[in-house]
Amino acid sequence: MTRRLHLAVAAYGVGGPGQHGLWKDPRVPKNASIDIQYYIRQAQIAQAALFDAFFIVDSQFITPDYPSHYLNRLEPLTLLSAVATHTTHIGLVATASSTYNSPFNLARRFASLDLISGGRAAWNVVTSFDTGTSRNYGLEEHLDYATRYGRALEAVQVVRGLWDSYEDDAFPASLDDNQFLDPSKLHALNHVGEHFSVAGPLNVSRSPQGQPVIFQAGVSEEGRNLAAQVAEGIYAPGGTRAQAQAYFSDIKQRATAAGRDPDHVLIFTGASPVVGSSDAQAHRRSREIYDQDNDFDRKLGFLGRSFGAYDFAQHDLDAPFPDVAHLAEKGGRTAGQAIVDRAASQGLTLRQVVETLTEYRPSPFTGAPDTVADAIEEWFTAGAADGLNLRFRALEDLERFAGDVVPLLQKRGLFRTAYEHDTLRGHLGLPIPENRHSVRDQEDFPRGGFA
């Protein structure tokens, strides 16, 4: 099968991280983050452009200096359920924490979304990484990496087990036999593991895609291993093309080592394209956007997120970067350690750390439509991405990408010209997982040896 590019859109309202100033953009309603119609419109535009998936990130802890979108937002599954009935084809990827949800609740809610959407749901598994979030759930300190990732792996296994509670032919609803359910096709899970004990069965049947797709975003060692073991879609950090290639091949190798088909582990690299009438115009626009977002206090506040919602405002901005190495474990460890190392090796002040981290770096996908299409083709063919997870500023920017860049990708044979499937698994070329109980039945009853 020819390898095909995949496109997802990460939907925001008034602006997520790196879009601090988006609320000032007159094209974006001030309440866009909590306006369900704003999300429905984004999904419909992305669907009209034949995108694979519509993706909702999540965060469960805020401080007043967080990005505007994080401050006030809809819970992802609740949001996507509303979007589901106003769309017909695009995949719906909701972020949910395996640390702060029980597997039975997760299994029910994603299975429900999968039925409501006709087989278009996906779960983006996150482990949640800050102390601020843990304090919303009764824990003074969040769980350490090993526990969180062990729990995440087991949670995915339990949830998948629950999703197979009913075989596909479990409901004959036969008047002749006076039988609604065939009880032999309903299976309890009776899982007893290190982190969870879950009996089941789940009271939700399977959708046309069998099970929701599993997404993950792994950067740390534990995260990469989890992604390689269970993820079917991976949200990869952007960075340079060389960095993306290194991440891509690392994950594909780990997946292969874990006995999986690397083509069934699709890497969506994060990208914030800026499309202009010319390369120069696009770069001017890119710089304007940077300046609009350049809110030092908010960047300083958001920096704390990598250190367990640490409050950096208590420190002198022009003194050496404070000693917060021990806090990296409380936040995004990999990111936090990189910041600490950089500050130490370059002798940076707190102000310099913020400015260096957020210095102007135009997206590799900045330019006239042909330039952006060239960059996407290069990343795709060079093995830096199976697809892109695109972030736009306003609906108009998504529309422009859909109208000007997508047709170029189609002309080059990289992207579909019509939906060929009705489910997210179909779009992604992922097989429908056979129900584990049906498979067992087939093994019990050999098909005979006809050649």
* Interacting residues with its own copies (CB under 8 A): 14, 23-24, 30-31, 34, 36, 40, 59-62, 64-65, 68, 70-75, 77-79, 81-82, 84-86, 100-102, 104-105, 108-109, 111-113, 115-116, 132, 135-138, 166, 171, 173, 175, 180-181, 183, 186, 196-201, 203-205
Rank residues 82 and 432 by Cβ distance to its own copies and give the closer one.
82
Residue 186 beta carbon to its own copies: minimum distance, rounded to whole angstroms: 6
Output 179 or 277, the one with its CB closest to its own copies.
Answer: 179
Q: How far apart are CA 301 and CA 332, in angstroms?
A: 15
CB 203 within 8 A of CB 217: no
3-class DSSP state for residue 190?
A: coil
Which lies closer to its own copies via its Cβ, residue 118 or residue 367? 118
Which residues are paired to 267 by β-bridges?
Answer: 234
Task: Report the C-alpha gap between 333 and 327 in whole angstroms.
Answer: 8
* Closest approach of its own copies to the CB of residue 197, in Å: 5
Nearer to its own copies among residue 79 and residue 153 (C-beta): 79
Distances (CA, A) of 94 to 11, 145, 237, 354, 407: 11, 22, 18, 30, 28
Which amino acid is located at 440 in the chain? R
Q: How far is the CB of 21 from its own copies (least distance, A)?
A: 9
By C-beta, is 207 or 358 nearer to its own copies?
Answer: 207
Neighbours of 64 (CB within 10 A): 8
**Residue 451, Cα to own-chain centre: how many angstroms?**
45
Does the N-terminal peptide bond of residue 201 adopt cis geometry, omega within 30 degrees of 0?
Answer: yes
Shortest distance, position 198 Cβ to its own copies, whole Å: 6
| Smaller CB separation from its own copies, 105 or 356 | 105
Least distance between its own copies and beta carbon 308 (Å): 13
Residue 95: CA count within 13 A, CB half-sphere: 17
Q: Report in angstroms how near the CB of residue 358 gets to its own copies at its nearest.
A: 18
The span from the CA of 226 to the CA of 254, in Å, is 10
